[in-house]
Amino acid sequence: MNHMPEIDVEEARRDTATRILDAAERTFRHYGYSKTTVADIAGELGMSTANIYRFFGSKVEIHQALCARMLATCYKQAYDTRHSLDSAEMRLRRYVEEQHRWTVETMLDEHKVHEMIIVAIERDWQVIERHIDSIQDLVAEIIKEGIATGEFAEQDPIAAARCFGAATVSLCHPQMVAQCMAKENRATASELVDFAIRALKR
């Protein structure tokens, strides 16, 4: 008696959800977020709009999931830097440099991708807040290790991480990066990082 291989229902659902997100990202890039409809996404996949709604309740939910996926890539980059074997100072420098480069390459090079991120920020979604908290936790861990090795002065690493983030936010926040890139009277990335790290040593 032949046995048909069992189908992993959850895996199949994840695969379909990923295909929907991939199609949504393509259509958002092509038309822009505001002009894209769920029907456009369904058409890209050759499936019905009703089938899209089986996985995502609205275009907003699709957008949220896409932003979460993009930010997960950003977090992975920061996580790898935090767990590298360099000094705390070098890890903080590389973290800011990589975040700045990622912001420029991912969020600013393509206007329609930038639009999608700005919509997320303006709606103050929890996915953005959770990402900020997760990144600050990684920075606090680096600072705590720097305190333990004597690189940084004794201080509250959590408060220090928040201040470090505030001092370098113009290098990571899409809107601020876009506004500051062409201005000659703004501090450079290296100047901001130098300033923030000096503050940790005092």
**39 has pLDDT over 60:** yes
Average pLDDT of the residues of the chain: 85
Question: Does the model's pTM come out above 0.75?
Answer: yes
Give the residue from 54, 47, 55, 50 showing the smallest Cα distance to 17: 55
Cα radius of gyration (the chain): 21
Burial call 124-157: b when 16+ CB within 10 Å, e when fewer: ebebbeebeeebeebbbbbbbbbbeeebbeeeeb
pLDDT of residue 4: 46
* Cβ neighbours, 10 Å, residue 63: 23
DSSP code at position 13: H
**155 has pLDDT over 70:** yes
Q: What is the mean pLDDT of the segment spanning 93-100?
A: 91
**72 has pLDDT over 50:** yes
Q: What is the pLDDT of residues 109-151, one digit of tens each?
A: 555 566 777 777 777 567 788 888 999 999 999 999 999 999 9
**67 has pLDDT over 90:** no
Q: What is the pLDDT of residues 26-37, one digit of tens each?
A: 898 888 888 899
pLDDT of residue 171: 83
Cα atoms in the Cβ-side hemisphere of radius 13 Å centred on 169: 10
pLDDT of residue 25: 87
pLDDT of residue 120: 72
Q: What is the pLDDT of residues 5-27, one digit of tens each?
A: 555 778 888 899 999 999 998 89
How many Å apart are CA 33 and CA 90, to the nearest integer?
38
DSSP code at position 36: -
Q: What is the mean pLDDT of the segment spanning 42-60?
A: 92
How many Å apart are CA 80 and CA 90, to the nearest integer?
13
pLDDT of residue 190: 84
All domains of the chain, ordered by start, with CATH? 1-57 (1.10.10.60), 67-201 (1.10.357)
